[in-house]
């Protein structure tokens, strides 16, 4: 069975200039957008809380998400784990404690209403409020005041008399895990779930994960560039690298435009796309090298056109089969799995495109540049003689 004609004769290279122009405009627009708006970093990079809940009855991910949003958790991420019969879900929410710069201001106002509050200090990152009162306060009144301002309180500590007079107190804010479980149990006589585990990712750890993920991506691209330079020729390496950069930017544009969470899964997508992109590029480069030996003296653009047409059937079938598995994930997947499949599908499309319209044109330009230098050098030698 022959789905695609074996010998096609499409002038791909003849359309390289408009393709390069469109790609350059899109890449520039994405880079500007990233610089202005940035990514919607997930818990992995921005820090936050992850709670695993196991329900005692069958429940779908969209039902869990709807319950969370109804209780006021509009920025929560829900992901199913394990088999559908396990009814287990991961709920992710930004922040480690319920204390934020905004709630710290309202908490201060609530405490000042009690009278005689001085030396107020809110450690937002660790969720701790320290303050001094001119009179002894009931810890329950302090708890009620802070809770009423929108910050849950885990504990109120009486630190004893201060040296300069007055009484020192410390309030420890509840974690985001408490906010999640309280919201999910809202309106129920008894919770229909059990908390399996709670994980926290602080802002500092999130920054480290983000930096290491970006470093891994850069190291992978550098290693691929070195491989292509040794495997083929110097003029082939920059084209492969530019194609990879193009694909990474285009997939990043998906996260920028859709505002989907950019997390460690996104880094995995980008690393996978760089490998997929270079794989298709190397197949075309191999065929170009074979055709250069076969058609000595023929212009490089014509040779590349022949090579691209010869590998067209393989490229379409390989990309198509890979895309079919991703379509299945798009139909049945939810949450991060759906995001992964969509980003991968976009990466496969732009990866196939870049092998033809990004890598190959740059190789042609470098070859023509080398030919002009060689001709100029020969002309100088003739004049000198």
Domains 48-92+177-201 and 101-174 share a fold: yes
User: Collapsing DSSP states into helix, strand and coil, what is residue 316?
Assistant: helix
**385 pLDDT higher than 60:** no
Which pTM does this prediction carry?
A: 0.68
pLDDT category at 119 given cuts 50, 70, 90 is confident
Query: Exposure string (b/e) for 303-335, b if CB count within 10 Å is 16 or more?
Result: bbbbbbbbbbbebeebbeeebeebeebbeebeb
**Alpha-carbon distance values, 296 to 233, 250, 291 (Å):** 17, 36, 8
Q: What is the pLDDT of residue 2?
A: 60
- Mean local confidence (pLDDT), 80-109: 80
Give me the sheet containing 153-161, strands edge to edge: 117-123, 128-133, 167-173, 153-161
**84 pLDDT higher than 90:** no
Q: Answer whether CATH 3.40.50.11810 is correct for domain 48-92+177-201.
A: no
- Mean local confidence (pLDDT), 146-153: 82
Q: What is the pLDDT of residue 357?
A: 84
* Cβ 247 vs Cβ 350: under 8 Å: yes
**What's the mean per-residue pLDDT of the chain?**
82
Q: Whose CA is closest to 245, among 277, 215, 286, 210?
A: 277
Give me the sheet containing 48-55, strands edge to edge: 77-81, 88-94, 48-55, 193-201
Q: What is the pLDDT of residue 6?
A: 65
**209 pLDDT higher than 80:** no
**118 pLDDT higher than 90:** no
Query: For 13-41+203-384, CATH number?
Result: 1.20.1640.10
Q: Where are the domains of the chain?
A: 13-41+203-384, 48-92+177-201, 101-174
Q: What is the pLDDT of residue 28?
A: 94
Quote the CA–CA distance of 209 and 264 in Å, as a whole number: 8
pLDDT (tens digit per residue) in 363-381: 777 777 777 777 776 666 6
pLDDT > 90 in the chain, percent: 8
Q: Answer whether CATH 3.40.710.10 is correct for domain 101-174.
A: no
Q: What is the pLDDT of residue 123?
A: 84
- Mean local confidence (pLDDT), 320-340: 82
Q: What is the pLDDT of residue 93?
A: 78
pLDDT (tens digit per residue) in 268-326: 888 888 888 888 888 888 888 888 888 887 888 888 888 888 888 788 888 888 888 88
């Amino acid at each position: 069975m022959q789905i695609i004609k074996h010998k096609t004769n499409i002038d791909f290279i003849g359309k390289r200039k408009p393709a390069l122009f469109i790609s350059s405009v899109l890449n520039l627009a994405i880079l500007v957008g990233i610089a202005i708006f940035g990514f919607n970093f997930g818990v992995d990079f921005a820090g936050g809380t992850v709670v695993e809940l196991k329900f005692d009855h069958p429940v779908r991910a969209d039902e869990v998400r709807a319950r969370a949003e109804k209780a006021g958790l509009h920025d929560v991420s829900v992901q199913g784990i394990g088999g559908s019969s396990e009814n287990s879900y991961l709920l992710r929410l930004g922040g480690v404690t319920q204390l934020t710069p905004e709630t710290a201001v309202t908490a201060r106002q609530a405490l000042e209403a009690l009278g005689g509050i001085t030396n107020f200090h809110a450690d937002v990152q660790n969720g701790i409020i320290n303050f001094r009162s001119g009179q002894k306060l009931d810890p329950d009144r302090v708890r009620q005041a802070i809770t009423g301002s929108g910050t849950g309180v885990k504990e109120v500590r009486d630190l004893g008399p201060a040296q300069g007079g007055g009484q020192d107190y410390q309030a420890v804010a509840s974690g985001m895990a408490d906010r999640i479980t309280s919201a999910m149990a809202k309106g129920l006589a008894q919770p229909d779930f059990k908390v399996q585990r709670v994980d926290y990712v602080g802002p500092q750890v999130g920054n480290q994960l983000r930096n290491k993920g970006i470093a891994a991506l850069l190291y992978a691209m550098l290693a691929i560039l070195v491989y292509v330079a040794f495997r083929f020729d110097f003029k082939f390496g920059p084209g492969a690298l530019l194609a990879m950069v193009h694909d990474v930017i285009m997939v990043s544009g998906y996260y920028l435009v859709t505002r989907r969470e950019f997390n460690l899964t996104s880094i995995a997508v980008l690393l996978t796309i760089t490998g997929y992109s270079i794989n298709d590029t190397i197949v075309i480069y191999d065929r170009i090298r074979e055709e250069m030996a076969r058609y000595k003296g023929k212009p490089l653009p014509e040779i590349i056109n022949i090579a691209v047409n010869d590998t067209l059937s393989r490229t379409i079938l390989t990309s198509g089969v890979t895309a079919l598995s991703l379509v299945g994930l798009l139909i049945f997947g939810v949450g991060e799995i759906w995001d992964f499949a969509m980003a991968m599908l976009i990466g496969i499309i732009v990866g196939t495109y870049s092998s033809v319209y990004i890598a190959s044109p740059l190789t042609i330009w470098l070859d023509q540049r080398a030919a002009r230098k060689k001709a100029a050098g020969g002309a100088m030698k003739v004049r000198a003689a």
